Chain A
Amino acid sequence: MPSHMKYMIGVDVGGTFTDFTLANAATGEVFNYKERSTPSDPSRAILTGIVEMLSLKQIDYKDIGYLVHGTTVATNTLIERKGASTALLITEGFKDIVEIGNQTRPSLYNLHQEKPLPLVPSHLRVEVPERIYQDGSVRQSIDLEILRERLHALPIKDVESIAICFLFSFVNPAHEKAASDLVRDIFPQAYISISHEVVAEFREYPRLSTTILNAYLGPVMRSYLENFQTAVKNIGIIVDPYITQSNGGTLSIQETVKSPVRTAVSGPSAGVIAAARFGELTGYNNLITFDMGGTSADISLVENGSPLVSVERKIVGWPARLPMLDIITIGAGGGSIARIDMGGALKVGPESAGAIPGPACYQSGGTKPTVTDANVLLQRINPQKILGGKMHINQAVAQDSIRKHISELSGLSILDAANGIIDVVNANMVRAIRVVSVERGYDPKDFTLMAFGGAGPLHAVALAKEIGIPRVLVPPSAGTLCSLGLLLTDIRSDHVYSRVISPSPAIVPDVKGIFEELEKEGTTILDKEQVGLGDRSFLRWIDARYKLQNYELMIPVQTDEFTEDGLTKIEKRFHSAHELTYGYARPNAEIEFVNFRLTAIGTLPKARIAQRPTRREAEISEPLRPVDNRKVYFKEIQGFVDCNIYQRSDIYSLDAILGPAIIEQMDATTVIPPGVACRADLYGNLIIEL
């Protein structure tokens, strides 16, 4: 990290647009830029955007001290199934686990629903004679001669990547190591993904699935990221770029390429990191984040400044066992399509008109009514133009579409239909918010709803009211929070070791040893990332459970607790965590430690979030004035009312607005109902108290 850093760039690639945030490291000044995405090679839009943005701002490439890239290449590769042709080496007798999974069917009532086709076709699955017992001892030594024969029988040109996963390799990796040595000999070009390296945790299916995902993504990500790195160098940027991970941290390209599966749900994570950071600045540390875009809404919970983390989730249908920010995604966005079903109920989503063909009112091919059309009809969204005038809106078309597809089939007036569309989509989102909060034991009353994404601030106040959240916060760059979030992260590398042991004085040296080993692994990464000694820190957890349980709780631990007394403290902490999470504890029951986790953190410089001046500071004597006035429908008064329209960029710190009001900005619209007050804090966040 150069110490003379002047500028930082965050690049977030979305389906429609690639968003850039340029931050001046010294002043905290932030500049946002957008470029149309280039899905066939996302790096094209990135490079064009950087070049245009830097020339616009007359900034020298050499002054870019930090570049971080949030990528959806991994996710898209999976959705489009364009990953590498992947072979699998697995313990003899178990090649069908790839297909059997956990034995459940994908849909309870739709018996025609297929399971996703395995990423490794059957003819590329190689069974390996070998077997290790649960304690790590060898039942059957690996037969390398037979393995060699079977490898030679593979169609060599079809093997770009190889996953290796043997039973109990997390206890004894010798067989996986021996197999990978042989594989390297025979397939020197292939990408290799080994289960005990990718995720050294017990439970074979999630480990296998994660290892296969990693192998499948490896070659694609390697070539994409290496090209990107070269291209960045070629335009004259000196620093090596960083890549965002699903855990909310970043890693260098070299490390990312080793474990690309870790980027698979990185898309929405930067937004959550930014939300947490804004919350911290503003003093609201308990947040429910609500990011609503064109096709979906991402919802997560931040407790005391830390986003909740989950260690297993499905990625495009496949289980992945890795620490990831716990984000719920539902099919509710501005483009969600409304319809009346066979039984006469109004349904909204999950089908979406997306950006193409888009809502009816965009007149770009879409004819079905969407959430955006309803918002346009009610004049909550500007009925003439959005995106700072770049996109024209046809309100009459929105009205026709709602009349034809909703009113004529339900007897609802057009206004009721439009309101209904919004109420229904809100009800879907309320359900998701309840899942991340109430169902996990949190009371929404203790939280602030942080609304962002193009459509988030349109719906936020209604959601907060419905669910009893007392406050809504809309950050300044509501539409580009993700790319800003990229400039607020740290290097984070997760390491895990799996071993089932019961805590007792005898295991103290084991626990110590395990964490020392993990710390060595983490240190190696931090060394490679050239993190200064003063910028290093480590977090440690033990996944623990009551004996005979099959689910664990992550218990934070400290190095000074690896003593007899310390273990007792950890056990006590587990009992309380169990009480908190599950409503009871069993103080006399035996506990088992299952996984040992360490996160190595390398603190990175962050974009300073600059304060927004007050009017007095900016020496503006004029009070805040609306830029426009139009009639907007509010449910609260069941009708249209004259409503002031403000421009977000006109709002200075400590300005106050009393609803009814609409605040428009380039990429988002905030709705403030009658009687509700809104003020801007010192960072330019809109704070709406309910």
Chain B
Amino acid sequence: MSKDTKSLTEEVNAITLEILGNRLLSVAEEMGATLIKTAYSTNIKERRDCSTAVFDRLGQMIAQAEHIPMHLGSLLGAVESLLRKYPAVTIQSGDIFMTNDPYSGGGTHLPDITLVSPVFKNQTLVGFVASLAHHADVGGKVPGSTSGDNTSIFQEGIRIPMVKIANRGNVIQDAIDFIMLNSRTPKEREGDLAAQIAANRVGVKRLLEVVSKYGIEKYFLATDALLGYAERLMRAGILKLPDGVYTFEDFMDDDGINIGIPIPIRVSITIREDTALVDFTGSNPQVAGPINIPLNGTLATVFYCFKVLVGPEIPSNQGIYNVLCVFAPEECILNCKSPAAVGERIDTCQRVADVIFGAMAEAAPERVIAASNSSVTTATFSGLKPASGDFYVYLETIAGGQGAHSSGDGLSGVQVHMTNTSNLPIEALELEYPLLVRQYKLRQDSGGAGKYRGGLGIQREIEALVSGTTFSSLADRQKIAPWGLKGGGEGMPGQYILVRKNGQTCRLGSKESGVLLDVGDMVSIQTPGAGGYGDPLEREPERVLTDIVEGKVSSQMARVRYGVVINNVNEIDPQATINLRDELSKESAAKYNNK
């Protein structure tokens, strides 16, 4: 325990901290439950692509329900920009504000619409509650609004500045009509916005109950203490990291427009006592394709990484920000300016997480993980359903490997970092769409070699059962591999392979639209593995054998990368293994000396 806790007063003690934190989290969770329960669209109801949070009177976040880390950015940005546009004195009880705009409303991409409600106790502003939902279509060039070839935010859908959607409790239908007219699925938008309004109203009511339990003055003292609490935990964690400047760089394959031109992401992290400066100077300027991140998205990513690094149990509140100083130059890919396209910003956020862990590998080797698949590999199939003739769009994000760490292998076939959504079951998919899944398996040898092996990517193969099916890809990490740490090897990059019915195959681009499939044609979606950790020659031969038996590693890879020799009855040949490992380690020592 740090000595700072003496700052706790008689009014606000260790018990208040815990119970108030619990109550505020309960407010956010009940908002989330209401939103999911009353939402209209599949994306919110079933994929739970939404988040809720509670803020103090100054707009600082004091509690967030655990949903999708990526959403934190928009939540933080929304209340801040609300107060910039509408000073507190102009806000009234029952007002609700709405925005989705990255450049004026604090958002990170247009499908995420945030609703903010002020909370008043007897005419005193005591805080805010906010809900965010990913709306499946907000207009723009393509259904679903996000497309790999968008080059301007104006192609990505309707931009909503911070506007009032309810005035003193009365919903402003004009504002909702505006949104509905700009969506391909207006009914869904109306239903989902109604769910967000319902969630905010539950939040207002419940937050008032909490405030009443304490009285306004004690509540203010207590929420301040809660921010201090998270700050203390974060500071105590950072204090344990050795002082120093830690740098790292990695690259995005390309932006989908200027194919083949890698895009550097660079970070320099300065740890000094109990603070951290995270500086992205040197990262690429903003790009034409939709992989730019508004600063709030970058902030959310840094926040996520430090929570992982320092303490997964630290409550998600703004107190943490007082410890983290984040800098990204203006008009950089991590702090883009209008009208940069941002639809697929999450791919870049995943890379930002990788570079932060890469940089901190030296300072916190036992906390970081090697590079993960760090792409949100997306497959979109569309066409007509044979029975009804209805047009369908089936979009799925396919998971991959997670980086290995100092005490274990990386997880295989999981969503990493800024997202954590579920897959669509094969039987649900085939009942719904004229498609058939041929294989769904882990990709052999895709995990980077290491004392601890990187997680494996996934191979999901989908066949078109009718002609006129269209496929679009959207991914990264298909050229530049996920790196390993401390001598660990690279994970295998991802790829999309088109297999024609006649057996012809070709590789598709990572951001390619409108590939036409005939009956029996198939797309093999292969997601990246992840980097390994530590020297593969130090992996216990028995674990390599297990990987071979499980099909995770081929005997060829076992020999070449792990120096493990397997005889023809699938047993380790101990002497041959010792000899081979000896030889391989001499080879690598020689290579090292030549450098």
Residue numbers of A with Cβ under 8 A of B are 93-97, 99-100, 102-105, 107-112, 114-115, 121-123, 133-134, 139, 167-168, 202-205, 340-348, 406, 409-412, 416, 419-420, 423-424, 427-428, 430-431, 434-435, 438-439, 441, 500, 548-551, 581-584
Contacts and interface: CB of A to CB of B under 8 A. Distances in A.
B412 A99 contact: yes
A343 B232 CA distance: 6
B411 interface: yes
A549 B45 contact: yes
B42 A111 contact: no
Interface in B394-451: 398-399, 402-403, 405, 407-408, 411-416, 420-428, 430-432, 436, 438-442
B13 A411 contact: yes
B229 interface: yes
B445 to A, nearest CB: 14
Interface string B1-30: 110111010000111011101110110011
A27 B181 CA distance: 72
B26 A103 contact: no
B414 A340 contact: no
Nearest to A410: B14
A115 to B, nearest CB: 6
Contact of B38 (A110, A341, A438, A583): A583
Q: Which of A109, A204, A434 has the most CB of B within 10 A?
A: A109
A103 B442 contact: no
B402 A105 contact: yes
Contacts of B500: none
Given A103-B423, A109-B307, A345 B18 contact: yes
Interface string B170-198: 00000000000000000000010011001
B420 A105 contact: yes
B79 to A, nearest CB: 22
A218 to B, nearest CB: 24
A325 to B, nearest CB: 20
A168 B33 CA distance: 32
A111 B427 contact: no
For the complex of A and B, the 6 pairs showing the least CB-CB separation, nearest first, are A344-B5, A122-B550, A420-B15, A109-B312, A93-B439, A583-B38
Contacts of B29: 431, 435, 439
Contacts of B427: 134, 167-168, 202-204
B307 to A, nearest CB: 5
B408 A423 contact: no
A599 B552 CA distance: 43
A437 B416 CA distance: 33
The SS class assigned to the A binding surface is loop
B280 to A, nearest CB: 22
A584 B40 contact: yes
Interface in B82-113: none
B224 interface: no
Contacts of A108: 66, 69, 312, 420
A345 B13 CA distance: 8
A331 to B, nearest CB: 14
B208 interface: no
Interface string B271-309: 000000000000000000000000000000000100110
B306 to A, nearest CB: 10
Nearest to A101: B413
Contacts of A441: 37
Contacts of B355: none
29 contacts: A93-B439, A93-B441, A100-B440, A104-B414, A104-B421, A107-B312, A108-B420, A109-B307, A111-B308, A111-B369, A112-B407, A122-B549, A139-B436, A202-B427, A341-B233, A344-B14, A344-B17, A345-B229, A346-B17, A410-B5, A411-B8, A424-B15, A427-B18, A430-B26, A431-B26, A434-B30, A435-B33, A441-B37, A550-B428
A289 B14 CA distance: 30
A438 B2 CA distance: 38
Nearest to B547: A122
Given A93-B439, A105-B416, A550-B428, 8 more contacts: A103-B413, A112-B407, A344-B4, A420-B18, A424-B22, A550-B42, A582-B37, A584-B194
B230 interface: yes
B314 to A, nearest CB: 8
Contact of B236 (A96, A342, A431): A342
Contacts of B26: 430-431, 434
B260 interface: no
A658 B42 CA distance: 54
B1 A93 contact: no
Contacts of B540: none
Given A96-B440, A105-B411, A344-B232, A427 B22 contact: yes
A410 B17 CA distance: 12
B169 interface: no
A204 B442 contact: no
Contacts of A583: 37-38, 195, 198
Contact of B33 (A107, A109, A346, A439): A439
A204 B425 contact: yes
Contacts of A549: 42, 45-46
A420 B17 CA distance: 11
A348 B436 CA distance: 50
A102 B441 contact: no
A347 B439 CA distance: 47
A430 B29 CA distance: 13
A134 B34 CA distance: 34
Contact of B422 (A102, A134, A428): A102
A680 to B, nearest CB: 33
A581 B233 CA distance: 40
A139 B438 CA distance: 11
Contact of A111 (B22, B45, B405, B550): B405
A500 B1 CA distance: 57
Nearest to A589: B187
Contacts of A551: 45-46
Nearest to B409: A114
A648 B421 CA distance: 52
B19 A423 contact: yes
Nearest to B234: A343
B551 interface: yes
Contacts of B22: 424, 427-428, 431
A582 B46 CA distance: 13
Contact of A342 (B232, B308, B436): B232
Given A108-B66, A342-B1, A346-B15, A411 B428 contact: no
B458 interface: yes
A550 B48 CA distance: 12
A288 B402 CA distance: 42
Nearest to B195: A583
Contacts of B34: 439
Nearest to B368: A111
Given A93-B438, A99-B442, A108-B420, A343 B236 contact: yes
Q: Which of B13, B194, B403 has the most CB of A within 10 A?
A: B13
Nearest to B440: A94
Nearest to A581: B37
A424 B369 CA distance: 34
Nearest to B9: A411
A90 to B, nearest CB: 11
Q: Which of A115, A123, A342 has the most CB of B within 10 A?
A: A342
Given A102-B422, A105-B415, A114-B411, A345 B431 contact: no
Interface in B223-257: 229-230, 232-233, 236-237
A360 B344 CA distance: 55
B30 to A, nearest CB: 6
A135 to B, nearest CB: 9
B38 A584 contact: yes
Contacts of B403: 111
B15 A103 contact: no
Contact of B431 (A94, A134, A340, A409): A134
B11 to A, nearest CB: 12
B312 A410 contact: no
